[in-house]
């Protein structure tokens, strides 16, 4: 078949001829317009940030000059350490300093509090009419000043500090008498002027520290984004586009020269698109162009794609409704021709598989019925209850209770027909229960030994799998009268299955199998023999659960007695997931 008949080739040609030119045009217009708008908005916002940063730096510089002159030239501040704290002279000097702080605070509208701290006396003097400064903040400020190092960054430059959970810009000046003069400025106070400007648009103004910490209260952004803001403020790039929770943002930054802070403005790109009138018109025309394109594609694809797909859907519905004789008509496209062929083949195989599954289910149901018939023996129940009766009559109450518990556990296990598999330890516990019941019936006749590899306790296998062999051993054990009848059960790893297998051996010290019985077991004729219904049922269950991977072997021990061996693949709960 030629490539021109290929559905993929036809679709590529159709979509390429119609959509590629339109997509390229839209991509070009979009990219060009967005770059122009970004550059213009970034330039405008950069100018706004520089103006506000210069204004903020000027205010900080003015406070710097005040702190420097007060620390070294104010007579009261320089003489605080010359008088004893409890002297009248110290008190008068302190009053003079406080009055001066209150008078000076009026000249600096952005300053939240002016303070003086004498390290020798650990005395903090603050302006009274402070702006948003609580007593808790003052107390925490005293603790900070006690541990303040003369080389701390805020002694040389404005820095951010956290007092009582609030962020402040702080600057202190130390004179030769170990007296600090300082000021606190609230972050909100610094940001209010630019916020008032940004309220006119949809942008957002933030303040971050040189360490990348977000200083603006009430706003939450990831630390990684704050770090990108900090890096951008130190670079030569005019702007950067970042994707945040609010959407795609145009980010412009500017670093303060007087403090360890950086101003950041974020503008949503949705706002930028509102300024693109031409681009918006093109966007409005896109739906009409898309409808026209869709109409063209539907007409073109109807014959080569839609009709074959509709036929395939119709065929799937018919198959789902149970009409397994329905077949698809062959298409002109190579891909649909292959799909049609596979669909018709699959329908035929499903029809055959349905018959096989139905027959297999019948065999499985028959095997389960046989299993249930084998599990519940009226004679076994009556004999067990007879033992309980005699024990009660003989006033052996504890033995009677023990026997009843064994009977309850036994029938609770064998009636779990809906359980597909059980753990090895559960199966062994059930077999031991059965043997204990028989041992209580024949205390001087029966004995048993059970050995299980600890690593196989969690292995999974069908329930009541090898009980028929234990029952047969006990039934034939009645023929021995000169010694105690011993039943052995050994569960270990199968050395002949390196990838993992289980070997289950049931043996006794009885007479063993006759040659005729061994020939019958090896030939498999027992499967249709009602005399060996239990063995045949085990064989069918092994075949249905494991296929050819399981083996059922019969033989005699050299020292006498019969032995039945089951070799199964190892299955655990992890294998079944």
pLDDT surpassing 80 at residue 422: yes
pLDDT at position 502, please?
92
Residue 333: inside a domain, yes or no? no
Q: Please answer whether residues 254 and 233 qualify as being in contact, where contact means their C-beta atoms are separated by less than 8 angstroms.
A: yes
Q: Which domain holds residue 134?
A: 27-274
Q: Average of pLDDT values for 335-346?
A: 77
Residue 186's alpha-carbon distances to 190, 215, 508, in angstroms, are 7, 10, 93
pLDDT at position 522, please?
83
Q: How far apart are CA 274 and CA 270, in angstroms?
A: 7
CATH number for the domain that contains residue 477: 3.30.565.10
The residue out of 243, 274, 305 marking a domain boundary is 274
Same domain, 270 and 379: no
| Ramachandran bin of 153, using left for φ above 0, alpha for ψ from -120 to 50, beta for the remaining angles | alpha
Same domain, 269 and 394: no
Same domain, 384 and 270: no
pLDDT surpassing 70 at residue 280: no
Top-confidence residue, 73 or 380: 73
The residue out of 274, 298, 331 marking a domain boundary is 274
Same domain, 104 and 236: yes
Q: How far apart are CA 429 and CA 447, in angstroms?
A: 16
- Indicate the pLDDT class of residue 193, thresholds 50, 70 and 90: confident
Q: Average of pLDDT values for 167-173?
A: 88
Top-confidence residue, 116 or 497: 116
Bridge partners, residue 461, by sequence: 422
Q: How far apart are CA 133 and CA 102, in angstroms?
A: 14
pLDDT surpassing 90 at residue 356: no
Residue 171: inside a domain, yes or no? yes
Q: Please answer whether residues 312 and 331 qualify as being in contact, where contact means their C-beta atoms are separated by less than 8 angstroms.
A: no
Residue 224: inside a domain, yes or no? yes
pLDDT at position 373, please?
44
Q: How far apart are CA 168 and CA 17, in angstroms?
A: 63
Same domain, 380 and 234: no
pLDDT at position 376, please?
47
Bridge partners, residue 161, by sequence: 168
Task: Report which secondary-structure segment, H or E, holds 490.
Answer: strand 485-493
pLDDT at position 342, please?
80
Q: Average of pLDDT values for 456-462?
A: 89
- Indicate the pLDDT class of residue 564, thresholds 50, 70 and 90: very high
- DSSP output for 193-221: HHHHHHTTSS-EEEEEETTS-B-STT---
In 3D space, the residue among 409, 451, 448 whose CA is nearest the CA of residue 430 turns out to be 409
pLDDT surpassing 60 at residue 199: no
Same domain, 383 and 269: no
Residue 139: inside a domain, yes or no? yes
pLDDT at position 163, please?
85
Q: What are 255's two structure tokens?
A: 């670093």
Q: Please answer whether residues 534 and 474 qualify as being in contact, where contact means their C-beta atoms are separated by less than 8 angstroms.
A: no
CB burial string 274-302: b at 16+ within 10 A, e below = eebeebeebeeeeeeeeeeeeeebeebbe
Top-confidence residue, 386 or 258: 258
For 550, phi and psi rounded to 5 degrees? -100, 150
Same domain, 101 and 217: yes
Bridge partners, residue 242, by sequence: 249
Q: Average of pLDDT values for 329-333?
A: 70
Top-confidence residue, 380 or 174: 174
pLDDT at position 374, please?
47
Task: Report which secondary-structure segment, H or E, holds 101.
Answer: helix 88-105
Residue 381: inside a domain, yes or no? yes
pLDDT tens digit string along 357-402? Answer: 666 666 665 555 455 444 445 666 676 777 777 777 777 788 778 8
pLDDT surpassing 80 at residue 158: yes
pLDDT at position 375, please?
47
Pick the most confident of 186-190, 358-362, 491-495.
Answer: 491-495
Residue 105: inside a domain, yes or no? yes
Residue 322: inside a domain, yes or no? no
Q: How far apart are CA 142 and CA 519, in angstroms?
A: 102
Q: How far apart are CA 252 and CA 267, in angstroms?
A: 9
pLDDT at position 503, please?
92
Same domain, 407 and 551: yes
pLDDT at position 505, please?
93
Pick the most confident of 32-46, 312-326, 397-411.
Answer: 397-411
Q: Name the domain count of the chain.
A: 2
Sheet holding 247-255, edge to edge: 204-209, 261-268, 247-255, 240-244
Q: Average of pLDDT values for 163-192?
A: 85
pLDDT at position 378, please?
62
User: What is the end-to-end Cα distance of the chain in Å, rounded?
Assistant: 45
pLDDT at position 530, please?
61
Grouping H, G, I as helix, E, B as strand and the rest as coil, residue 49 is helix
Residue 268: inside a domain, yes or no? yes
pLDDT surpassing 90 at residue 492: yes
For the chain, give the mean pLDDT.
78
Q: Please answer whether residues 414 and 375 qualify as being in contact, where contact means their C-beta atoms are separated by less than 8 angstroms.
A: yes
For 107, phi and psi rounded to 5 degrees? -80, -10
The residue out of 274, 298, 332 marking a domain boundary is 274
59-68, 101-110, 479-488: which has the minimum mean pLDDT?
A: 479-488
pLDDT surpassing 60 at residue 284: yes
pLDDT at position 504, please?
92
Percent of the chain with pLDDT over 70: 79
pLDDT tens digit string along 224-238? Answer: 777 777 776 677 776
Q: What are 208's two structure tokens?
A: 């971050």
């Amino acid at each position: 078949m030629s490539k021109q008949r290929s559905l993929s080739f036809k679709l590529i040609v159709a979509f390429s001829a119609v959509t590629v030119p339109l997509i390229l045009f839209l991509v070009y217009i979009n990219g060009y317009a967005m770059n122009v708008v970004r550059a213009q908005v970034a330039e405008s916002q950069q100018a706004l940030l520089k103006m506000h940063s210069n204004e903020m730096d000027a205010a900080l510089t003015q406070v710097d000059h005040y702190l420097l002159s007060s620390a070294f030239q104010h007579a009261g501040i320089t003489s605080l350490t010359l008088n004893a704290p409890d002297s009248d002279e110290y008190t008068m000097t302190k009053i003079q300093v406080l009055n001066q702080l209150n008078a000076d605070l009026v000249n600096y509208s952005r300053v939240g509090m002016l303070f003086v701290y004498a390290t020798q006396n650990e005395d903090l003097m603050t302006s009274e009419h402070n702006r948003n400064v609580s007593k808790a903040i003052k107390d925490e400020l005293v603790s900070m000043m006690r541990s303040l190092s003369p080389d701390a960054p805020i002694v040389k430059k404005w820095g951010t500090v956290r007092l009582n959970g609030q962020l402040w810009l702080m600057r202190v000046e130390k004179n030769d008498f170990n007296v600090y003069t300082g000021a606190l400025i609230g972050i909100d106070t610094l940001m209010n002027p630019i916020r008032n400007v940004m309220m006119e648009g949809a942008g957002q103004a933030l303040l971050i520290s040189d360490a990348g910490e977000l200083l603006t209260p009430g706003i939450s952004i990831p630390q990684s984004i704050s770090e990108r803001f900090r890096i951008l403020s130190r670079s030569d790039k005019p702007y950067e586009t970042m994707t945040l929770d609010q959407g795609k943002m145009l980010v412009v930054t500017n670093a303060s020269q007087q403090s360890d802070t950086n101003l950041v403005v974020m503008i949503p790109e949705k706002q930028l698109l509102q300024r693109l009138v031409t681009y918006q018109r093109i966007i409005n025309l896109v739906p009409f162009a898309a409808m026209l394109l869709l109409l063209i594609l539907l007409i073109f694809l109807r014959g080569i794609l839609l009709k074959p797909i509709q036929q395939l859907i119709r065929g799937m519905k018919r198959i789902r409704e149970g009409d397994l004789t329905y077949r698809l008509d062959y298409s002109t496209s190579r891909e649909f021709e292959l799909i049609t062929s596979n669909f018709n083949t699959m329908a035929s195989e499903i029809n055959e598989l349905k018959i096989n599954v139905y027959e297999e289910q019948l065999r499985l149901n028959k095997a389960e019925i046989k299993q249930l018939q084998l599990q519940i023996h009226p004679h076994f129940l009556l004999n067990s209850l007879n033992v309980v009766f005699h024990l009660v009559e003989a006033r052996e109450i504890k033995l009677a209770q023990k026997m009843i518990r064994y009977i309850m556990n036994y029938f609770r296990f064998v009636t779990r027909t809906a359980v597909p598999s059980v753990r090895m330890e559960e199966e062994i516990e059930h077999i031991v229960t059965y043997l204990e019941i028989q041992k209580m019936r024949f205390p001087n006749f029966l004995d048993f030994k059970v050995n299980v590899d600890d690593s196989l306790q969690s292995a999974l296998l069908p329930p009541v799998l090898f009980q028929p062999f234990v029952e047969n051993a006990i039934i034939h054990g009645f023929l021995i009268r000169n010694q105690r009848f011993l039943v052995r059960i050994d569960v270990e790893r199968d050395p002949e299955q390196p990838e993992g297998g289980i070997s289950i051996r049931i043996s006794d010290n009885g007479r063993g199998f006759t040659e005729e019985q061994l020939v019958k077991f090896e030939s498999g004729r027992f499967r249709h023999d009602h005399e060996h219904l239990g063995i045949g049922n085990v064989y069918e269950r092994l075949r249905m659960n494991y296929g050819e991977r399981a083996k059922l072997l019969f033989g005699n021990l050299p020292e006498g007695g019969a032995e039945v061996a089951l070799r199964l693949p190892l299955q655990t709960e992890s294998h079944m997931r």
